[in-house]
Amino acid sequence: MATIVFDGRTIQDHYPGIGRYAFYLARALAECFPEHQFRLLFNPRAYNSRFDLQTLTTRANVVPVPTPAQIFSPQEQTLGRNPYVIGNARVWFSPYYALPLTVATPSVVTLADVTPLVLPEEMPNPSKRMLYRGLNQAAGWRARAVLTFSDASRFDLERLLNVPNEKMVVIPLGVDSNFHPASSQDIAQIRAALNLPQVYALYVGSNKPHKNLARLMEAWAYVNTDAVLVIAGAWDKRYPQAKQLVAQWGMQERVLFRHNIVEAALPALISGARAFVFPSVHEGFGLPPLEAMACGVPVACAHASSLPEVVADAALVFDPYNPQDMAETMSRILDNAHLRFEMRAKGLLHAKQFTWERAARATFEVFQQVGNFA
């Protein structure tokens, strides 16, 4: 039996994307490898309404290790030398670039993307961007192996951080089994709870600059449809442009904003949509389009960064910098029932290739190589 330290401190509301990755991967690892022990670090003080940690910590092969050490705090540097944390561990795994400098145990780190280095407007403060680069670069150089989610991300990591290509392993994300076509009753309930109309197109994600919501608003102004556009997901008040454009162009009845949707409600919300749109100009992977496919919803997706390799030929793609092209692609799906039927079948089949079990087994192979155990 080998012991792996799994730094799960990102499993909290402040890290919705990477927190989801850490949670589902930890659960799959524990399920797939019951003969091995996973020492799970978590912050009991962090606000966590999204993920049920008890489903992890009550497993026989998961040892919960509560720690108040916040990510990137001076206190986290003590973790790598704490015998209660690292004693007898073969591997330290950080699913985020917060890899404590004091960790002497062979380490594996996940670098999901370097979006602020590709798109400086994502982090306009030069000092913060320099620190971000330094922390990612330090983690990539110090770890024995670096996991990332796509070939596009691997290219960015090598080009912008000089992470050796031979050190990196691409492991795509998985689609949780909760994402499947919801019943008409569940769809009706979520529609009533969120006060949504019968026909809507949907975007799920944050409103950070790389998500490209301003151009999506411009594109929606061109779309002639009876559907409304629903923008759902975490909302960052630093980036109000999408809401400002909706108000400026008088589209309040055509665009609805619904924030902080609980995880359990997402499959029904997605399943009720006529189409799903994902206009990001840069992604390390881009899980929401796959989750939409798994729910039987046709996807219109940006042809940018990692997204073409993720959606393959199961989505219609558009130029994310061209609102007219985006509008025409969405209109094709919204106006054509036969096309939607074909895309639903293709999307359901494509999404089945991406499972957390597959991701966990590929990740554990890296642990075995780094920790030198069978």
Residue 60 has what pLDDT?
Answer: 95
Q: What is the mean pLDDT of residues 362-372?
A: 98
Residue 49 has what pLDDT?
Answer: 86
Whether residues 329 and 360 fall in one domain: no
Domain of residue 222 covers: 184-351
Inside any domain, residue 179:
no
* pLDDT-derived band at 260, boundaries 50, 70, 90: confident
* pLDDT-derived band at 50, boundaries 50, 70, 90: confident
Whether residues 100 and 228 fall in one domain: no
Extended beta strands in 43-144, E state: 62-66, 91-94, 107-110
Q: Is the pLDDT of residue 269 over 90?
A: yes
- Provide the domain count of the chain: 2
Whether residues 98 and 218 fall in one domain: no
User: Residue 156: which of 138, 143, 137 has the closest Cα?
Assistant: 137
Inside any domain, residue 18:
yes
Whether residues 79 and 122 fall in one domain: yes
Positive/negative CA dihedral, 302, 271, 251, 332: positive
Residue 263 has what pLDDT?
Answer: 87
Q: Is the pLDDT of residue 242 over 90?
A: yes
Inside any domain, residue 236:
yes
pLDDT in tens, 79-131: 999 999 999 999 999 999 999 989 999 999 999 999 999 999 899 999 999 99
Tokens of 125: 């403060």
CATH code, 204? 3.40.50.2000
Inside any domain, residue 209:
yes
Average pLDDT score over the chain:
96
- Which residues does residue 110 pair with via DSSP β-bridges, in sequence order? 147
Residue type, 137: Q
Whether residues 165 and 226 fall in one domain: no
Q: Is the pLDDT of residue 44 over 90?
A: yes
User: Residue 181: which of 263, 262, 261, 269 has the closest Cα?
Assistant: 269
pLDDT in tens, 282-304: 999 999 999 999 999 999 999 99
Characterise 141 by phi-psi region: left (phi > 0), alpha (psi -120 to 50), beta (else): alpha
Q: Is the pLDDT of residue 168 over 90?
A: yes
Whether residues 89 and 17 fall in one domain: yes
Q: Is the pLDDT of residue 262 over 90?
A: no
Whether residues 24 and 143 fall in one domain: yes
Whether residues 230 and 267 fall in one domain: yes
DSSP per position, 244-261: HHHHHTT-TTTEEEEE--
Whether residues 117 and 255 fall in one domain: no
User: Residue 260: which of 230, 291, 237, 234 has the closest Cα?
Assistant: 234
Whether residues 332 and 252 fall in one domain: yes
Residue 374 has what pLDDT?
Answer: 83
Residue 153 has what pLDDT?
Answer: 97
pLDDT in tens, 191-231: 999 999 999 999 999 999 999 999 999 999 999 999 999 99
Give the Cα separation of 240 and 115 in Å (integer).
20
Inside any domain, residue 266:
yes
* Residues contacting 343, CB < 8 A, separation 6+: 298, 299, 314, 315, 316, 333
Which segments of the chain does DSSP mark as H helices, in order?
16-32, 54-57, 83-86, 115-118, 126-142, 151-161, 184-193, 213-222, 241-248, 266-271, 287-294, 307-311, 323-335, 337-351, 356-371
Q: What is the mean pLDDT of residues 237-243?
A: 95
Whether residues 340 and 366 fall in one domain: no
Q: What is the mean pLDDT of residues 38-51?
A: 93
Residue 117 has what pLDDT?
Answer: 96
DSSP per position, 188-243: HHHHHHTT--SSEEEEES---GGG-HHHHHHHHHH---SPEEEEEE---TT--HHH
Inside any domain, residue 156:
yes
Whether residues 80 and 220 fall in one domain: no
* Of the candidate ranges 45-59, 172-186, 196-210, the one whose mean pLDDT is the lowest: 45-59
Beta pairing class for 3-7 and 37-42: parallel
Return the number of other C-beta atoms located less than 10 Å from residue 80's C-beta: 18
